[in-house]
A and B are shown apart, each in its own frame.
Chain A
Amino acid sequence: MSPQSSSQQTRSSDRVADDDTRRANALAHLLLNGALVVLFGALFVQAGALPSSMWEPLGSGSFPRLVLAVLMVINLGIMAQEWRRYRGAPRASAGLVKRWMWRHRLALGVLALFALYIVGVPMLGFRLASLLFLTLVQLTLGVRRPRSLAIAAIIAVTFSFGIDWLFRDVFIISLPRGPFG
C-alpha cells in the first residue's frame, strides 16, 4: 500500500533478525496485546450500555462491540503466537533495556522534545514554541559547526515566524498566539 510499508518491513526484518532482542520483542508483544485485550474487554462491556434505537435493530453499541470482539480474538491469537516465540527464544543478555535505550536515544530525545513542544504551543504560542523546538532538535541531531549553526538559526526563524505569517496573513488561519502574541 503506502510507500511506507516496505521501508517498515525492511527495518522490521532487521530488528526481528536480532537474536538478542527476540525474547524481549515477544515479551513486548505479550504486554501490549495483553493490555489491549483488557482494554477492549472493558470497552466491550461499556459499549453494551450504549442506548439502543427503536428505529433500527442495531443500536449505537452494536458495531463497536462487533469490532471489539473480533479485536479481542485477534489479540489473543497474536499473544498465542508470541508466547510460543517467547518460550523458544534464548534468554536475553543482561543490560538489554539499557542498550536499547542508548541505541534509541536520539529518537527518544526528539520524541521528548516533541512532547514538550506540543504542550508548549498553547502556553508559549506557535512562534516561540516552534523557534525553540526547531533549534533544540537541530542541536540534538548533531548540528555543531558555525556554518551549520547559522543555517539552523535561519531554518528555525523561517519555519516558526515564517509559517505563522503565512497562515495568519495569507491563509487567514490564526495559529496559537500565546502570551507573547
Chain B
Amino acid sequence: MTEALFAGMDQLFTLPTMATMLLGVVAGVIASAIPGFTITMAIVLTLPLTFTMDPLQGVATMLAVYVGGYSGGLISAALLGIPGTPSSVATTFDAFPMARSGQPGRALALGIWSSFFGALVSAIVLIIAAPPLAMIAVKLGAWEYFSLIIFAMTVVASLVGKSMLKGLMTGLLGLFIATVGADPMMGVARFTFDFDLLANGFPFLVVLIGIFAVSQLLQEVEDAEQTKHGKQLIPANVAFKPLDALRETLTYPINLIRSSLVGVFIGAVPGAGGSIANLLAYDQAKRASKTPEKFGTGTPEGVIASESGNSATSGGGLIPMIALGIPGSAVDAVLMASLMVHGIGIGPRLILDHGDLVYGMFMAMLLAAFMVLVVCLFSMRFFLRVTDVPRSVIVPVVLVCCVVGAFALNNRVTDIYLLLGVGVFGYILSKLDYPLAPLVLGVILGPIAETNLRRALMTDENWTLFFTRPISLTLLILAVVSVAFAIRHRLRQRHTAKPA
C-alpha cells in the first residue's frame, strides 16, 4: 500500500499533471457557476481533452473539474438565487437570503470553506473505505456480481424520478441498448440490421453525451424564455473575509462533519448524488439545530450543511466505482470511461493491478480540494462575472463541444449521427418525465451484467445458486427491499396528497 501510495504521488506531483488539474479546477468552478451548465456536462466535455494524457493525469484533471464544479455551483446559488447545478439547490435557501441582506462575501466564503471541508472528509473516507471494500469485492463470484448489478439498478430506478416504473423502464432500456453490436462473449452481431451505424453498438459515451448534454441543453433553451437572469443581484463590490468565515465555519463542527458524512454516504449509493445530498444534509442540519426557525432566512448553518453535503458526494461516489466497478453517478461513469479509454479495466481488481493509479486518484482528490480552496479564495471576484454568460452562448458552444467529444472518441462520423439520435430520444423521454440517469447506468452496467450471468451459468447450470449463495441472496433481497420501500414511499405520498 505504501509503495503504491508513493508511486501514485510520484506520478501526480508532476508539473504537467498539476497544471492540467489547476486548469480543471478553474474550468469546473466557471462551468458550474453558469446557470444551466451542470457538472456532468463539464466532465463530459473535459473527457476528449484527456485522451492524449496518461491515465492518471487524465483522471486527475477530471477529478479537479468534478471537485471544482461542486464549489462553482455555490456562486450563482448565493448571488443569483439560481443553483448553478442542481446539487446547489439547498444552498439557495440560506446563501441567497444572506447575500441579499448585504453579506454576499460572507455567504460565498462560508460556502467555499464548507465545500473544502466536505471534500476533505470525503477524500479521507474514500481512502479508508475503498481498499478494504475492494479486497472483499475481488472474492465475489459471477453470481454475486450479477445480483449486485440488479441491486444497483433497482436502487437507481427507485431513487430517481417520480415513477419507479419509468425508472425501471429507462434502466432496462439502457441494458438493452448495451446489447446492440457485438455480443461480449461470442462476438455475434446483434440487432445491427447490417447498418454500419450500428455495427459497433452504441458507445456509452455517445449515449451519455446525447442524453445528458443534448437533451439538457434543449431544456435550457426552453427555460431561457421563461427566466431572465444575470442582471439584478451581483454587487459591484463584495466584502470577502475568508478568515472570519473560516472561524465561523469551524464554530459548527458537528454540522460540518454530519453533513459531510451524509454527502459521502449518499454519494456512495448508486443513483443518489449531490442533488439529493445537499437537500438531505440541509434537512438533517435543520432538524438538529437549536434555531430551526432561522433556516431559510440566511443562517450560516444552512449554507454549511448544503455545501459540505454536496461536495462530500465527490469522494463518496468513487467508493463503489473503485471498489466494485459500479459508477455511483453519471460523473463517475465518465471517470470510468476516461480510464477505459486507456485500456484500464474497472472493477475490484483495479486497486490490485493499478494500485499506483488508485492511490494517485485518492491524492488527486485531496489536492483538488486544496486547489479549489486556493483558487476560489484568490479569484472569487473574477468568478463572480461568469454568472453573466448568456444561454445564447452556452447552448451552441456546448453543442459543438458535444459533437467534438463524440467524434474524437473513435474518429467516426457515424458516432455523431448516433449522438443526434440519442439526444432527440433523450429529449422526448425527458419531456415525458422519464428519468435519464438509469438509462446511462444501464448502458454501462449492461455488458457487465450479461457477462456475469452467462459466466455464472457456464460454471454451473444450476440457476438456483443465485438464491442459495449467501451474498448473492442478500443482494437480491436488498433489491426487493429497495423496490418495496420505493412503492411504500410513493403510496404514502399519494395518500397524503389526497385531500381529507
Taking Cβ atoms with an 8 Å cutoff, the residues of A that contact B are 1-9, 11-13, 15-16, 25, 28-29, 32, 40, 43, 46-47, 50-51, 53, 55-64, 67-68, 70-71, 74-75, 77-78, 81, 103-104, 106-107, 110-111, 114-115, 117-118, 121-122, 126, 130, 133-134, 137-138, 141-143, 151-152, 155, 159-160, 163, 167, 171-176
Contacts and interface: CB of A to CB of B under 8 A. Distances in A.
Interface residues of B, number: 95
B172 A130 contact: no
Contacts of B87: 3
Nearest to A80: B165
Given A7-B86, A173-B51, A175-B404, A58 B457 contact: yes
A72 to B, nearest CB: 10
Contacts of B190: 47, 50, 60-61, 64
Nearest to A12: B433
Nearest to A14: B226
A178 B173 CA distance: 36
30 contacts: A1-B441, A2-B330, A4-B86, A6-B275, A7-B86, A9-B161, A11-B223, A12-B433, A47-B191, A59-B186, A60-B185, A60-B190, A64-B176, A70-B172, A71-B173, A71-B176, A78-B165, A78-B169, A106-B221, A106-B222, A121-B407, A121-B413, A133-B396, A137-B399, A138-B392, A152-B392, A155-B396, A155-B397, A167-B48, A172-B52
Nearest to B176: A67
A25 B432 CA distance: 7
B39 interface: yes
B49 A32 contact: no
B395 A141 contact: yes
With most chain A CB atoms within 10 A of its CB, the pick from B39, B183, B217, B272 is B183
Contacts of B399: 110, 114, 117, 133, 137
A4 B393 contact: no
Interface string B36-49: 00111000000011
A172 to B, nearest CB: 7
A76 to B, nearest CB: 10
B221 A143 contact: no
B162 interface: yes
A175 B166 contact: no
Contacts of A16: 433
Interface of B: 38-40, 48-49, 51-52, 85-87, 89, 156, 159-163, 165-166, 168-169, 172-173, 175-176, 179, 183, 185-186, 188, 190-191, 212, 214, 216-219, 221-225, 270-276, 328-331, 390-393, 395-397, 399-401, 403-404, 407-408, 411, 413, 416-417, 419-420, 423-424, 427-428, 430-433, 435-438, 440-441, 449-450, 453-454, 457-458, 461
Nearest to B331: A2
A110 B272 contact: no
A9 B160 CA distance: 9
Contacts of A130: 400, 403
Nearest to B279: A6
Interface SS majority for chain B = helix
A68 B162 contact: no
Nearest to A140: B392
A176 B407 CA distance: 9
Report, nearest first, the 8 A-B pairs whose CB atoms are least far apart. Answer: A141-B392, A137-B396, A6-B275, A6-B86, A2-B330, A60-B183, A12-B433, A1-B437
A167 B411 CA distance: 12
Contacts of B191: 43, 46-47, 64
B432 A29 contact: yes
Contacts of B48: 167, 171, 173
Given A12-B162, A118-B417, A175-B407, A3 B433 contact: no
A75 B190 CA distance: 22
Contacts of B400: 130, 133-134, 159-160, 163
B169 A71 contact: yes
B216 A4 contact: yes
A16 B434 CA distance: 12
Given A6-B275, A141-B395, 15 more contacts: A1-B160, A3-B86, A5-B437, A6-B86, A7-B86, A8-B435, A28-B431, A56-B185, A60-B185, A62-B454, A71-B169, A71-B176, A77-B165, A175-B408, A176-B413
Contact of A63 (B49, B212, B390, B453): B453
B223 A67 contact: no
A130 to B, nearest CB: 5
B494 to A, nearest CB: 12
A57 B461 contact: yes
B179 A141 contact: no
A155 B163 CA distance: 41
A16 B433 CA distance: 9
Nearest to A100: B431
Nearest to A46: B191
A51 B186 CA distance: 10
B457 A107 contact: no
A118 to B, nearest CB: 5
